[in-house]
Amino acid sequence: MNLKGKVAIVTGGNSGIGLAIVLELARQGANIAIDYVANPDATEALEKQVSALGDLVIGVEADVSKVADLQRLVTATVQAFGRVDVMVNNAGVETRTSVLDTSEAQYDKVLAINLKSAFFGTQLAAQQMIKQGGGGRIINISSVHEDWPMPGNTAYCLSKGGMRMLTRTAGVELAPHGILVVGVGPGAVATPINTSTMNDPALLQKLDAAIPLGRMARPEEIASLVAFLASDGASYMTATTIFADGGIMHCSPGL
């Protein structure tokens, strides 16, 4: 699983699953570009970790929910490394609000950060990949909730359902260019997005009990799948989602 010399952009790369993806791709030899909005310190610390692995890294100030900022991220990557081989659309947020109580501002924020950024991240990366030739990989970090309701987190589910169809449609459209588009659907992962659950022992126990493997995933367990999907070994996968969910989507009490 060697990514030596490949160039990868990872949106939302300085925390949670994104951070683990950055480190795993770097371990496999990729040079990395990450965006940051509010957390330059975390980004600098991560840049040092990537450099220590012997790879090149840039951090670009960019709000990936804005197309102009995404364009700046792609342009800066090409300026620094000459190309883009792998685009990981990972940035994501959730509000844990229901259809009855989600405000317009919450809806717009979730859809812009999760879905709009993945759509235009796919578009801009694909345009660059076509320009440079040789195909590429686009990996959309979705969720089990692209296909499975999470009551009380409606806008999030909508955004992930949109990513599901982005992966499928863009995968078909971009296949003639050798650009493979694959979704990754994690279940519950021990990252900041799940802090409220992890800090509540009763809730955490309930969640663990709903997972056939009996525990949340470590971010590294998602990152290893992403590294595989970016590698030569995944050359025949496109327009589909791979789930790494400990079996949660198929959990049945057997009653």
Q: Which residues bind ligand BGC (CB under 6 A)?
A: 94, 143-145, 150, 187-188, 193-194, 197
Smallest distance from ligand BGC to CB 114, Å: 10
63: Cβ contacts below 8 Å, ≥ 6 apart: 35, 37, 69
Helices within 4-66 (DSSP H only): 16-27, 40-52
b vs e for 108-127, b when ≥16 Cβ sit within 10 Å of the residue's Cβ?
eebbbbbbbbbbbbbbbbbe
Under a CB-based contact definition with an 8 Å cutoff, are residues 154 and 102 in contact? yes
Residue with nearest beta carbon to ligand BGC: 143
Compute the distance between CA of residue 127 and CA of residue 30 in angstroms, rounded to an integer. 21
Smallest distance from ligand BGC to CB 142, Å: 8
**CB-wise, 6 or 160, nearer to ligand BGC?**
160
**CB-wise, 13 or 161, nearer to ligand BGC?**
161
**CB-wise, 37 or 198, nearer to ligand BGC?**
198
Compute the distance between CA of residue 6 and CA of residue 27 in angstroms, rounded to an integer. 12
Structure tokens at 244: 């790494």
Smallest distance from ligand BGC to CB 167, Å: 15
Compute the distance between CA of residue 74 and CA of residue 164 in angstroms, rounded to an integer. 23
Smallest distance from ligand BGC to CB 107, Å: 16
What are phi and psi for residue 197, nearest 5 degrees?
A: -75, -45
Positions marked active-site: 156
**CB-wise, 61 or 221, nearer to ligand BGC?**
221
